[in-house]
Structure 1
Amino acid sequence: MHPTRPFTRRTVLAMALASLTSGALPALAQTKPAGHDKALRVILPLSAGSGADGAIRAISTPISKALGQTLVIENLPGAGGITGTAQIVRASKDGDTIGIVSNNHVVNPSLYKNIPFDSIKDIAPITIIGTTPFVLVANPKVPARTVQELIAHAKAHPGTLNYGSSGNGTILHLGAAMFVEQAQIDVPHIPYKGTGQLMNDLLSGQVQLGVVAVAPAMAHIKAGNLRAIGITSAKRSASLPDVPTIAEQGLPQYELDGWIAAIAPAGVPKTEIDRLYQGFVQGIASPEAREALIAQGYEIQLTPPDVATRFMASEKLRMQAAVKAAQVKMD
């Protein structure tokens, strides 16, 4: 078990599966529940077209059917997700407004001095919907196919490599910075405004390295336009089974997954949190929803609310240590 991570994703998955197989979840009616005649507002503190945005839109219909409420998805990006999350925590406590957050929700407290909410105390986690691995990729012009070859090349040819990210303080920035720090190599960071620009310059060779989500990188890796060096998660990706993890290639402390979670404002009654959780479980149980999430590169988790709460608190502490070690700072 990782010394700075007492509550691992494997523990999360085991507890979630125990809950889902216990038969404890009551069936939900396919009609609007009493007191919930209006739509369910779903705030995404992320831009349209992001991975989390695509995943939630892909599963919104089956979740809507399970809850008996129309889902109205609202993108409120800005300030690394802080702008939209502030709206989530200030929303009404009636269970008719929720939010979808990702890793940056627990990374931001280590990056920004003045966040207008507490990332743990001011939310009521509903469930960790799913996790997805990232992959360290290199432009094919880089003469390295493994982590150790990449480290050796970087040390032998200082100043010849850099890495790009989707922006300062993003999870892709942190993922690459963690690798550089643990590999003890000197590779500068080039921030971009979004994943699209990053991918374009990785493909053209303007930047040589980057940590990116597996799903959008798959086609480029298979075509030989990008080279997969290592998977960031604790286990190999089902989509790239022949690519070893970074940890098994000599950096045993390296571990990073992407994840998305459903949250509500703190103060929403437990009965409402449970109703919403059950809606996600039943909605994502449909083949349509499961296939959509898997196509987006997610491993479905659906942790119960109490497990999600402990997971996010643990992740906040782990990311705090990772940010400090990698010396990631906002300009």
Structure 2
Amino acid sequence: MNALILQGRRAVLAAALAAAMPWAQAQSDKPVRLIVPLTTGSTVDTLARALGQPLARALGQPVVVDNLVGAGGVSGTTQLVRAPKDGNTLALVSSNHVINPAIYKTMPFDSLKDITPITVVGTVPLVLVATNTLPVKNLRELVAYAKTHPGQVDYGSAGNGSVLHLAAELLKSEGGIFLTHIPYRGTGPLTTDLIGGQIQLAFLSVTAAAPHVKAGKLRALGVSTTQRSTVLPDVPTLAESGLPNYSFDAWLALIGPAGLSKPLVQKLYQDVRTTLALKEVQDILAAQGIAPVDMSPEKTEPFFKTELAKHGALVQKAGAVKD
């Protein structure tokens, strides 16, 4: 009889703990599926794989990176929003998450209501680079040249509505200049044509541009963020080069499906913070030009809202809406 009473008390205690600590239900041998809605080898994918093992140690669960590519990240994120709300399915997304609602006339989910923002993990500075045939050495010379040669300076991007496209549209707006947009299918052919002189200007990630800048094949005119990049420390920011209001970066964030409990979100956030503090992770991020960010869940949601409005306005101005 005493054994039955003790067993009953244990059951009641376990239920109470589960109610008080709902995140404990996600702590199991079941792997955490970390969806990456972009291609293998992308910056998002590299970060996800860098976080994988150390994050698994912090979570106490295996982490499996799952690349689900399509429609600029929409396909993979669709799988996330349909996942159970137990913390076992997460996604690492890029700025595309807040750009896509402005680009596509219809979306299978709401980029705010159907997710739980957990934390912004890092930002990726971009750098404005020019071919050596363009007769400018810095941003001020570029603005002056573009104003005297309206429409005669071509810039390339990784496609309509891409981060590289919107960074250039902000440059046009802040600089009061007109540049001709040449969209490419990815950064590979874009970089090849830029080095070859088929186009004159483009934004690239600092890690993609750095080898060509150091080899003298491209000329760096300015970094897109308000702080200089450790990858190209001698290159000034666009803000300090004559466009004081210019600030643009690509960012990476961890999200879950809508409805994750606050205690679970806080635990996930703290586990990511612990992981980002590890030297092995910091070294990988530094090599990729990723600047770690410590943004709490309470700040991440309003950040998403601000970024949705900012990028939506840029997409409309650029006319990058797709059917």
The Cα of 1:159 is off from its aligned counterpart by 4.7
**What residue is the counterpart of 1:282 in the other structure?**
274
In structure 1, C-alpha distance between the alignment counterparts of 2:95 and 2:77, rounded to whole Å: 13
Q: Are 2:243 and 1:227 equivalent residues in the alignment? A: no
**What residue is the counterpart of 1:182 in the other structure?**
174
Q: How does 1:258-297 map to 2 (within 5 A)?
A: 258-297=250-289
Preserved contact between residue 36 and residue 48 of structure 2 (Cα < 8 Å)? no
Aligned length: 300
TM-score by length of 1: 0.86
Preserved contact between residue 214 and residue 297 of structure 1 (Cα < 8 Å)? yes
**What residue is the counterpart of 2:153 in the other structure?**
161
Q: Which runs of 5+ in 1 are unaligned?
A: 1-31
The Cα of 1:35 is off from its aligned counterpart by 4.4
Preserved contact between residue 117 and residue 256 of structure 2 (Cα < 8 Å)? yes
TM-score by length of 2: 0.88
Preserved contact between residue 161 and residue 315 of structure 2 (Cα < 8 Å)? no
Preserved contact between residue 137 and residue 221 of structure 2 (Cα < 8 Å)? yes
Which one of the candidate residues 46, 52, 71 is aligned to 2:44? Answer: 52
The Cα of 1:189 is off from its aligned counterpart by 1.2
In structure 2, C-alpha distance between the alignment counterparts of 1:170 and 1:111, rounded to whole Å: 10
Q: Are 2:137 and 1:145 equivalent residues in the alignment? A: yes
In structure 2, C-alpha distance between the alignment counterparts of 1:248 and 1:277, rounded to whole Å: 34
Sequence identity percentage: 47
Between 1 and 2, higher relative CO (CA 8 Å, sep ≥ 6) is seen in: 1
Q: Are 2:234 and 1:242 equivalent residues in the alignment? A: yes
In structure 2, C-alpha distance between the alignment counterparts of 1:219 and 1:251, rounded to whole Å: 26
Which one of the candidate residues 103, 109, 120 is aligned to 2:112? Answer: 120
In structure 1, C-alpha distance between the alignment counterparts of 2:150 and 2:242, rounded to whole Å: 21
One-letter code of the match for 1:290?
Answer: Q
Preserved contact between residue 122 and residue 253 of structure 2 (Cα < 8 Å)? yes
The Cα of 1:291 is off from its aligned counterpart by 1.0
In structure 2, C-alpha distance between the alignment counterparts of 1:297 and 1:34, rounded to whole Å: 33
Preserved contact between residue 181 and residue 326 of structure 1 (Cα < 8 Å)? no
**What residue is the counterpart of 2:163 in the other structure?**
171
Q: How does 1:26-175 map to 2 (within 5 A)?
A: 35-175=27-167
Preserved contact between residue 131 and residue 258 of structure 1 (Cα < 8 Å)? yes
The Cα of 1:101 is off from its aligned counterpart by 0.6
- Regions of 4+ moved over 4 Å: 32-35
In structure 1, C-alpha distance between the alignment counterparts of 2:89 and 2:123, rounded to whole Å: 23
**What residue is the counterpart of 1:194 in the other structure?**
186
The Cα of 1:253 is off from its aligned counterpart by 2.6
The Cα of 1:327 is off from its aligned counterpart by 4.0
- Over the residues paired in the alignment, what is the CA RMSD in angstroms? 1.8
The Cα of 1:322 is off from its aligned counterpart by 2.7
